[in-house]
């Protein structure tokens, strides 16, 4: 049917009609809020390149998680900043690490909040790479052993989900096998399956001081030019037993999000990363864009592209906006 018999504008005339026609919906249920945890007590350290976000001591991180829960957000993901970095990143699996303590405190305060723990070493190593180095190169299999220790320490602390993010080959198998061996067969794995070597991580690396001291991450993270390879990566993680797969970053990779959503029958997460957050905040602070509208439009776009779960620094803000609608 064509104009004038069909008029597309007919169904856009009122908010009621638009609501009827709406194909995708954004809800607080879709959101997962990243929280940075460090040492000390009563510490809130704003992150310059991520206005509105901070690094928190465990007590403050717990308050923040409770705020997220009260705002209707079902899940948080924790990142740790250790007191001391070393060549292997051993604080990552310390039973008394900041993330381990935060998991315990948050689960105690909000038992129904889903607590995930990002599981990687770049925040914990003095060289800033995502595992152990052998002759200056990331040693995949040696790093997997430490990853297994790390996810078990998170599971022991009470994490619902562990989220290996280092783009190590076989990281899902390593996590699943060791979790099951230790009796944590109910601990889920959210795999950073298609994670690109991206400049959009810049502000995050400032926040956790995890920029590689030499070289870069292109030897393990994906080439931004590749699409089919993302499908291979995701399929590997599905075969290894991932419960959730992820595409990261989000905005410049919406085609990948759609491809993966069509390919797999698992929940798909997107990570709306620090640089994406910073761009919106910087433009909004200048009065160049309407922050509230841009935030909801961006997050709704991820839903339209096929994302089920959206990890975003805008989670609290968006949940507030959604509650008002």
Residues taking part in catalysis = 195, 248
| Residues between 31 and 90 with contacts to ligand PBG, criterion CB under 6 A | none
- In the numeric block, which tokens belong to residue 163? 């989220």
Which of ligand PBG, Zn ion, none sits in contact with 173, Cβ below 5 to 8 A by type? none
The torsion angles phi and psi of 80, rounded to 5 degrees, stand at -110, 145
Which runs of consecutive H residues, i.e. helices, occur in 193-248?
Answer: 202-208, 228-239
b or e along 229-263 (b: 16 or more beta carbons within 10 Å of the residue's beta carbon)? ebbebbebbbebbbbbbbbbbbbebbebbbbbbeb
Is there binding between residue 274 and ligand PBG (CB under 6 A)? yes
Least distance between ligand PBG and beta carbon 148 (Å):
16
- Using the contact rule CB under 5 A, the part of the chain among 26-34, 58-66, 113-121, 288-296 near Zn ion is 113-121
| Residues between 173 and 212 with contacts to ligand PBG, criterion CB under 6 A | 201, 204-205, 210
- In the numeric block, which tokens belong to residue 201? 């991580």
Q: How many residues bind Zn ion (CB under 5 A)?
A: 4
Is there binding between residue 168 and Zn ion (CB under 5 A)? no
Is there binding between residue 154 and ligand PBG (CB under 6 A)? no
Is there binding between residue 166 and ligand PBG (CB under 6 A)? yes
- In the numeric block, which tokens belong to residue 107? 């689960």
Which of ligand PBG, Zn ion, none sits in contact with 45, Cβ below 5 to 8 A by type? none
Least distance between Zn ion and beta carbon 189 (Å):
16
Separation between Cα atoms, residue 283 and residue 221, nearest integer Å: 29
Least distance between ligand PBG and beta carbon 262 (Å):
25
Place of tokens 């899902």: 172
Cross-strand partners of 152: none
- In the numeric block, which tokens belong to residue 120? 């990687």
10 Å Cβ neighbour count for 227?
14
- Using the contact rule CB under 5 A, the part of the chain among 90-98, 127-135, 188-196, 313-321 near Zn ion is 127-135
Q: Of 309, 315, 304, which is closest to residue 30 (Cα–Cα)?
A: 309
Q: How many residues bind ligand PBG (CB under 6 A)?
A: 13
Which of ligand PBG, Zn ion, none sits in contact with 53, Cβ below 5 to 8 A by type? none
| Residues between 84 and 123 with contacts to ligand PBG, criterion CB under 6 A | 118, 120, 122
What contacts 278, CB < 8 A, 6 or more positions away? Answer: 49, 50, 51, 202, 203
Per CB under 6 A, residues contacting ligand PBG are 118, 120, 122, 130, 165-166, 201, 204-205, 210, 217, 273-274
Per CB under 5 A, residues contacting Zn ion are 120, 122, 130, 166
């Amino acid at each position: 049917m064509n104009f004038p018999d069909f008029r597309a504008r007919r169904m856009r005339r009122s908010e009621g009609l638009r609501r009827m026609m709406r194909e995708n919906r954004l809800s607080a249920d879709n959101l997962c809020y990243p929280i940075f945890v460090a040492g000390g007590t009563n510490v809130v350290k704003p992150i310059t390149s991520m206005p509105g976000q901070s690094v928190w001591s465990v007590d403050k991180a717990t308050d923040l998680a409770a705020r997220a829960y009260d705002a209707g957000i079902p899940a948080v993901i924790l990142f740790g900043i250790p007191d001391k970095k070393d060549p292997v990143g051993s604080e990552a699996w310390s039973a008394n690490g900041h993330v381990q303590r935060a998991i315990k405190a948050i689960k105690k305060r909000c038992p129904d909040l889903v607590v995930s723990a990002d599981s990687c070493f770049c925040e914990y190593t003095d060289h800033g790479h995502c595992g152990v180095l052998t002759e200056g190169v990331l040693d995949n299999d040696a790093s997997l052993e430490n990853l297994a220790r790390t996810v078990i320490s998170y599971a022991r602390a009470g994490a619902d989900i562990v989220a290996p993010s280092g783009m190590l080959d076989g990281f899902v198998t390593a996590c699943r096998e060791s979790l099951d061996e230790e009796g944590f067969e109910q601990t889920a794995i959210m795999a950073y399956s298609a994670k690109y070597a991206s400049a959009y991580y810049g502000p995050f690396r400032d926040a956790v001081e995890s920029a590689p001291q030499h070289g870069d991450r292109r030897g393990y993270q994906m080439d931004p030019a590749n699409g089919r390879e993302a499908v291979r990566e995701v399929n590997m993680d599905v075969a290894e037993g991932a419960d959730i797969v992820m595409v990261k970053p989000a905005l410049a990779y919406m085609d990948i999000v759609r491809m993966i959503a069509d390919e797999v029958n698992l929940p798909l997460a997107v990570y709306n990363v620090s640089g994406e957050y910073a761009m919106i905040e910087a433009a909004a602070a200048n009065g160049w864009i309407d922050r509230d509208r841009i935030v909801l439009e961006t997050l709704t776009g991820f839903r339209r592209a096929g994302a089920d779960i959206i990890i975003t620094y805008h989670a609290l803000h968006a949940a507030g906006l959604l509650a008002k609608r």
